[in-house]
Structure 1
Amino acid sequence: MNTDAYFTELAEALRTTGVPEEQLARTVDELRAHLAESGTAPEEEFGPAALFAASLGGLAPAPGEPDRAAEHWTWTADLFNDRRMLAVHGDQGWEVEHLDSLGRFVCRRAPGVALAWEYRREVIAGRRRAKVLAELDPEGWELCGEWLVYGYFKRPKAATAGPAGTLDAPPAAPEKVWFLSRRAKALLTVWALACGAAYLSLGLPGFAILVAVGSALSAVYTANLETRRGKVAGARTATGKD
């Protein structure tokens, strides 16, 4: 693909996501200037035009301008429910910026024509981190948060769905901020009773030990469970089974 054809495709993709013409022209001019200095081909430097346009974030504010118009929302879910809720909220245009210290998803949504987002969760503890990042980065996945042994990755749906990955009229921000599965609610009830018994019988030190041990065992169990599922899925793919 030659340079003119590449930037024509890029401009059309950015226009589809609602980027103003002035910002669009400025972006294309800056990218052309960068290529003139580097002497590389656009595909080599930026990747496919549609994927690159999606990664620019649609209606992102121009450099130096405050992002006052964007909506912001923070919510949380348990490990049994987080991927399902990320899919739901991603389809509504919510982009995860990061996870805070409590493990909550801190999100924003651009005004006007918002991008839909897709998410995935991977175990990235220890040696797996470099391997997972190396595998997902070429596919446009960006690490957007970490919790325990997990990494959460995001990618705009426009990268794979094109114009279908945008939202003209996203729904209002949910009032709910907790999304717990039935399994998590049951475990929390048992956990609360165990912590209460530990505090009453062993005092604060015993309570602290129970919380630490319980959290560690939970992280190890869920990580091992997810790794086993990944190996089973990989084996099925290798043998051609669904």
Structure 2
Amino acid sequence: MTDPKRSTTGTGYFERLAAVLRAGGMAEREVTVTVTDLTAYLAETGSLAEDEFGPVDDFAARLTGRGDGDSGPEEPEATAETWKWTTDVYNDRRLLNVYGDQGWEVERLDAFGRFVCRRTVGAALRWEYRREVLIDRKRDVVESELAPDGWEPCGQWTYYLYLKRPKAASAGPAATVATRPGTPRFSLYFGRKTRVLLAVTAVSVLILAFLYGSGAVEFNLALFIPIAVAVGIAAQSGVRKDVVEGVEDEAKDGKGKG
């Protein structure tokens, strides 16, 4: 009789893996996506489950970030690395996936629009992210559409909804981070477009301040407020248009300050 965990379908292996992942604290949705992707990967390679992924308990320990098969779930509060950072809408998706590959999981967005992240000290999972624009769509509808593919929300800022999912078996066992880069030095990232906008704004304010200070022009509040509002609306409309069209800075343009 063929040992099911030694078969190319890995039926017995994945049944055991799912049970261990649940016991290790992984959410049911993540368990389903992980096992489904691993099964598809194994079917493509034609390999044996245990040969491809190793002993089931050790593999489950790596996927849940518990190290080399220690019994019981790890205490995340005591061992997890944490990091908060933010960026503009021209670099958010790229940077989220860069840091997701380093094992950083976004747990939420705080009141200041910062991504609140954690990463286990052991073998952390790789994460991938996406951003959805909720201008003409309801959040619950978007979440329902993406849930079957394993996407779950991890934060919302105005009309930007961010979602995450673990990188399961698209790369097989490489879904875990063996060597973790250190926590990034920066916590604030502005790309080229945002820096240009800030520079133009700063120069405009300085010019106006000089003109008013020198007496070259008189300050007229009734005129200034409508102009300021119009400029603000135009800037916001431009950013919104870029977001809808998916405009991004090139990777070389991303800068950070922290």
TM-score, structure 1 as length reference: 0.65
Larger radius of gyration: 2
Q: Is the 8 A contact 1:195 1:207 kept in 2?
A: no
Structure 2 residue identity aligned to 1:170: R
Distance 1:229 1:66 in 2: 35
Matches within 5 A, 1:40-189: 47-48=32-33, 50=35, 58-59=64-65, 62=73, 65=75, 67-158=77-168, 160-189=170-199
* 5+ long unaligned stretches in structure 1: 32-41, 231-242
CA RMSD for the aligned pairs? 4.1
Cα deviation digits, residues 52-73 of structure 1 (max 9, x gap): 999xx7237849x561110000
Distance 1:105 1:208 in 2: 34
Secondary structure (helix, strand or coil) at the match of 2:78 reads coil
- The alpha-carbon distance between structure 1 residues 109 and 51, as it changes in their structure 2 partners (threshold 3 A), is farther
Q: Is the 8 A contact 1:149 1:223 kept in 2?
A: no
Compute the displacement of 1:225 (Å): 3.7
Structure 1 residue identity aligned to 2:155: G
Q: Is the 8 A contact 2:14 2:35 kept in 1?
A: no
Structure 2 residue identity aligned to 1:158: A
Q: Is the 8 A contact 2:33 2:150 kept in 1?
A: no
Compute the displacement of 1:207 (Å): 7.3
- Counterpart of 2:253? none
Distance 1:99 1:202 in 2: 40
Distance 2:64 2:220 in 1: 55
Q: Does 1:222 align with 2:239?
A: yes
Compute the displacement of 1:110 (Å): 0.9
Q: Is the 8 A contact 1:99 1:105 kept in 2?
A: yes
- Counterpart of 2:18? 10
Compute the displacement of 1:193 (Å): 3.9
Cα deviation digits, residues 179-203 of structure 1 (max 9, x gap): 2112211111223344567787467
The aligned length equals 202
Distance 1:228 1:113 in 2: 37
* 5+ long unaligned stretches in structure 2: 1-8, 39-59, 67-71, 213-218, 248-258
Percent of pairs identical after alignment?
41
- The alpha-carbon distance between structure 1 residues 173 and 202, as it changes in their structure 2 partners (threshold 3 A), is farther
Structure 2 residue identity aligned to 1:8: R
Distance 2:127 2:100 in 1: 4
